[in-house]
Amino acid sequence: MPRHLIDWHLLDDATWERLIERSLHHYRATDRWSTVAAKRSIGLLFFNSSLRTRTSMELAAVQLGAHASTLNIGQGTWGFAWEKGGVMDGNEAEHIDEAVAVLSRYYDALGVRVFASLTDREKDRDETLLNTFVDAATVPVINLESAFYHPCQALSDAAAMMTHFGGKVRRRKFVLTWCYHPRALPMAVPNSALLTAARLGMDVTLACPPPYVLDSRILDLAEGYAHQHGAQFSISDDQSAACEGADIVYAKAWSGPAVYAGADEEAAIRAAHRDWRVTRAIMDRTANGRFMHCLPVRRNVVVDDAVLDGPSTIHLLQAEFRLHAQKAILEHIWDLL
């Protein structure tokens, strides 16, 4: 059975803690280059756009001595069909089953980014596309952001907070706040951010308008982690009040379960909450808190310039950790630790 990385909640605490340690190790290393993964290769398949994940994963592999190649699916590749038992008489020339089986014979690991449909709730909740990919693979698969999870971002976020707080994150107040965005976005990052903070033993508040409360599976997992740590977990529909005394304000736009009722309905709900934006006034209510965002971020829509250009952010540290965390992930899936 290959060592896939689908999401952290599927892996034990020892592995999670070891990978945070390894991310910190790579961050502190004076020489970023090694040959620990020499003569290995990874193929990175992107069904959606990326700046950070693509470049940091390529570089992580290369800095460990491995080869990485990236495929932007549909741009210079065949289009892929996903349905089982379908009649492939449309535009898609290749089935995902053959494509992944063939690439498994070339590469020692595969990474895949395949976002939520935002039209089929069960398909997204059950990670149908990611699981179809994983089932066809005979080598380890790294989830580079799926319908529900972004484990590479999650490990980077954990390591960035550990670095910023000198390892002392337990019982610090972490607020994940929904923000307005002109487009309906997936829920992978907020799901993973909430689970990460809870697993670190932080006091977690989810701040969002009621229609944007995350899926019950995520809330149950987060509450379970909070319970294990004797930490608090709460939900608030008041963005500013929720940020009172916060150590971290993690901003993210997402479409929420409402999107599955219909894109127009969700857009109307979203438009009524344009004022959900991280401002200087909100940050002033924190306990000298730090602003986080996975990026890309829309300035003066999700967060004001006054916050993003000020001293209270660690969003670039988060982004930097993508490189270090993904080295740890490659070491894990290839059993190099």
Closest CB to ligand CP among 199 and 252? 252
52 sits near ligand CP (criterion: CB under 6 A): yes
E strand or H helix that includes residue 190 = helix 188-199
Contacts of 138 (CB under 8 A, 6+ apart): 2, 101, 104, 105
Residue with tokens 């693509």: 54
51 sits near ligand CP (criterion: CB under 6 A): yes
146 sits near ligand CP (criterion: CB under 6 A): no
Q: What's the first-to-final CA gap in the chain, in angstroms? A: 18
50 sits near ligand CP (criterion: CB under 6 A): yes
Which candidate, 28, 266, 66, places its Cα nearest to that of 167? 28
Can you give the C-alpha Rg of the chain in angstroms? 20
Positions in 296-335 near ligand CP (CB under 6 A): 296
Contacts of 234 (CB under 8 A, 6+ apart): 204, 205, 206
72 sits near ligand CP (criterion: CB under 6 A): no
DSSP 122-144: HHHHTTHHHHHHHHH-SS-EEES
294 sits near ligand CP (criterion: CB under 6 A): yes
Instruction: Indicate which single residue of 5, 27, 53, 124 sits in contact with ligand CP (rule: CB under 6 A).
Output: 53
- CA 194 remoteness from chain centre: 10
CB of 57 to ligand CP, least distance (A): 9
Number of other residues whose CB lies within 10 A of the CB of residue 188: 26
236 sits near ligand CP (criterion: CB under 6 A): no
112 sits near ligand CP (criterion: CB under 6 A): no
4 sits near ligand CP (criterion: CB under 6 A): no
Q: What track of x and - describes contact with ligand CP for positions 8 through 37 (by CB under 6 A)? A: ------------------------------
Instruction: Indicate which single residue of 63, 104, 153, 286 sits in contact with ligand CP (rule: CB under 6 A).
Output: 153
Residues making contact with ligand CP (CB under 6 A)? 50-53, 145, 153, 294-296
